[in-house]
A and B are shown apart, each in its own frame.
Chain A
Amino acid sequence: MQKNDITEMVISSLRQILSEQDPEFLTDGLNESTRLFGRGSLLDSLAMVSLIVDIEQRLKEKLNIHITIADERAMSMERSPFRTVESLADYIQLLVEEKSKDV
């Protein structure tokens, strides 16, 4: 899976979560550097969970890839993978690659 595809999936999922929260929210400006979680970010912890669950579900249904994005490892990383769209996409790519090696 290409990094671009993953980034697009994250943004698409993010767009959905944000518009569910507030239908008036303008989601055009979302890009790789959009801050997700942390200071000055778009999401609170519940929305972050929704985003992750949604991405996991998309991977499972569309590509039959089963990964757990939020686990102890992700939580204990020095630089949180949940900072920005890009860092999350990077982390997902890592998980997907690891998964494909397992098989």
Chain B
Amino acid sequence: MIDFLLKKFEENKGEEAIIFKETPYKYAWLLERISFWHHRIVAHQIKPGAVATLEADFSPDSVALLLALVEHRCVVVPLSQAVVSKKEEFIEIAQSEIIFRFSDARLEIKETGRKADHEYYLSLRAKNHPGLVLFSSGSTGKSKAAVHDLSKLLEKFKVPRYRWRTIAFLLFDHIGGINTMFYTLSNAGCLIVADDRTPDGVLRSIEKFRAQLLPTSPTFINLMILSEAYKRYDLSSLKIITYGTEPMPETTLRRINTILPHVTLQQTYGLTELGILRSKSKSTDSLWVRVGGEGVDTKVVDGVLWIRANSAMIGYLNADNPFDEEGWFCTGDLVDYEDGYTRILGRKSELINVGGQKVHPTEVENVILMMEGVEDVSVKGEPNPIVGQIVVAQVKISTEETVAEFKKRLAAFCKDKLARYKIPQKVSIVSSLSYGERFKKMR
């Protein structure tokens, strides 16, 4: 199942595979550890097809164990620090039969006595394929558990691509983090685990370990700019920053391009349900992106992006099948589409309806971000009995203005840039915006 990976590791035994707590681990080490874990799995009488929760963050051993479980055709359910509060619920939903828990460099193995008999698990066992269960963020309701056939998800990594020294920024249980790991290892690159995920922590790791690729989110890029952390480190090794998981504000993209002119900004597009798709930005300063490639079809229906992908999940464990008869999946993302390029406008569920007129939060955020003294902003809708919904903005500012003063300036600034109904009616000033472990703006 992962023969192509093991072969690659074998050919690159002397190369660095993972850097963790400032220590490099080579591919030779990784190969040995995969084999070590495989023996432990067998010794524990864990059968192929078993559902195993892996409570861990990126580390040499968590990666080796994950690969050993995949090789053994298990279904892996990674759970990172970001979901600590929901751990028990997720273990229940996933019907985990065995739990591997890493804590303080120790490993606990626990059998739960559960029996995983969901029909998707049975179909994976029948095919003798390994699986992967990922939870959607659940920012708009309950988290959904997506079951993937890992042999499909791994398919695209068989095509050799660039070898990068990459920061493992997105987490172990996120489709983006999983993608970063497989992409890096399948090309014999080096996965650099940043144990401190603040801008300073991440940029220090880039400097120290000469990282070339930073896969991250627009929110983190904005924090990088605000903290001016980029001024404190040598980032000459950095070649590419990829960004995804939420729409990129134009202002942030322009600023980071000016600050790091030698770095290419590249947008990625992926979903827990579909995997990370191949994508290519029109240019480093463009929000237009080509999404897809082999095995992926896209279409736009009423402004919403639909995708059909070979790498798509089998289905949810705890929700209805979201695919239509022809296998299309509605992403819920509103887009503009032109000459094969897509521009992501935002989630349809976050669209604000002011008296029948539609407002994209990102459009309003983009304008407010252009104002002097504005560090960050989050725009959303609020119910209002007169016009249905009104636009409200939470703003982080660096000036000493009162809310009333700032609101006045905002109204004047937006007047010739936004239609009247798009200008926030309610404005509050906050000391920080909430973005959580995934560095994604919460609306």
Among the listed A20, A57, A61, A70, which residue makes an inter-chain contact with B386, where contact means beta carbons less than 8 Å apart?
A70
A53 touches B411 (CB 8 A): no
Q: How far is the CA of A75 from the CA of B385 in the complex (A)?
A: 7
- Is A48 part of the contact surface with B, judged by Cβ < 8 Å? yes
Q: Contacts of A87 on B, CB cut-off 8 Å?
A: none
Among the listed A46, A53, A61, which residue makes an inter-chain contact with B426, where contact means beta carbons less than 8 Å apart?
A53
Q: Mark B367-411, 1 if CB is under 8 A from A, else 0.
A: 000000000000000001111001000000000000110001001
A7 to chain B, nearest CB (A): 20
Q: How far is the CA of A49 from the CA of B421 in the complex (A)?
A: 11
A20 touches B411 (CB 8 A): yes
- Is B303 part of the contact surface with A, judged by Cβ < 8 Å? no
With A46-B420, A50-B425 as known contacts, state yes or no: A71 contacts B385, CB within 8 Å.
Answer: yes
Among the listed B386, B403, B408, B411, which residue makes an inter-chain contact with A49, where contact means beta carbons less than 8 Å apart?
B386
Q: How far is the CA of A57 from the CA of B425 in the complex (A)?
A: 11
Q: Contacts of A70 on B, CB cut-off 8 Å?
A: 384-386
Minimal Cβ-Cβ distance residue in B for A60: B403
A1 to chain B, nearest CB (A): 20
Q: Contacts of B295 on A, CB cut-off 8 Å?
A: none
With A45-B355, A46-B355, A46-B420 as known contacts, state yes or no: A53 contacts B386, CB within 8 Å.
Answer: no
A75 touches B425 (CB 8 A): no
Q: Mark A12-50, 1 if CB is under 8 A from B, else 0.
A: 000000001000000000000000000000000110111
Q: How far is the CA of A50 from the CA of B384 in the complex (A)?
A: 11
Q: Contacts of B421 on A, CB cut-off 8 Å?
A: 46
- Is A74 part of the contact surface with B, judged by Cβ < 8 Å? yes
- Is A78 part of the contact surface with B, judged by Cβ < 8 Å? no
A45 touches B386 (CB 8 A): yes
Q: Contacts of B426 on A, CB cut-off 8 Å?
A: 53, 57
A77 to chain B, nearest CB (A): 12
A53 touches B403 (CB 8 A): no
Minimal Cβ-Cβ distance residue in A for B357: A46
- Is A72 part of the contact surface with B, judged by Cβ < 8 Å? yes
B26 to chain A, nearest CB (A): 61
Among the listed B386, B404, B408, which residue makes an inter-chain contact with A48, where contact means beta carbons less than 8 Å apart?
B386
B386 touches A75 (CB 8 A): yes
Q: How far is the CA of A71 from the CA of B385 in the complex (A)?
A: 6
Q: How far is the CA of A57 from the CA of B403 in the complex (A)?
A: 10
Q: How far is the CA of A103 from the CA of B384 in the complex (A)?
A: 26
A45 touches B411 (CB 8 A): no
Q: Mark A46-80, 1 if CB is under 8 A from B, else 0.
A: 10111011000100010000000011101100000
B425 touches A74 (CB 8 A): no
Among the listed B354, B385, B403, which residue makes an inter-chain contact with A61, where contact means beta carbons less than 8 Å apart?
B403
Q: How far is the CA of A74 from the CA of B408 in the complex (A)?
A: 28
Q: How far is the CA of A28 from the CA of B423 in the complex (A)?
A: 27
Minimal Cβ-Cβ distance residue in A for B392: A53
A57 to chain B, nearest CB (A): 7
Among the listed A20, A50, A53, A74, which residue makes an inter-chain contact with B385, where contact means beta carbons less than 8 Å apart?
A74
Among the listed B387, B403, B404, B408, which residue makes an inter-chain contact with A45, where contact means beta carbons less than 8 Å apart?
B387
Q: Contacts of B354 on A, CB cut-off 8 Å?
A: 46
What is the interface of chain B, defined by CB distance below 8 A to chain A? 354-355, 384-387, 390, 403-404, 408, 411, 420-421, 425-426
In the A-B complex, the 8 residue pairs with the smallest Cβ-Cβ separation, listed nearest first, are A75-B385, A53-B425, A70-B385, A49-B386, A45-B387, A53-B426, A70-B386, A49-B425
Q: A46-B420, A53-B426 are in contact. List 5 more A-B contacts (CB 8 A).
A: A20-B411, A46-B421, A50-B425, A57-B403, A70-B385
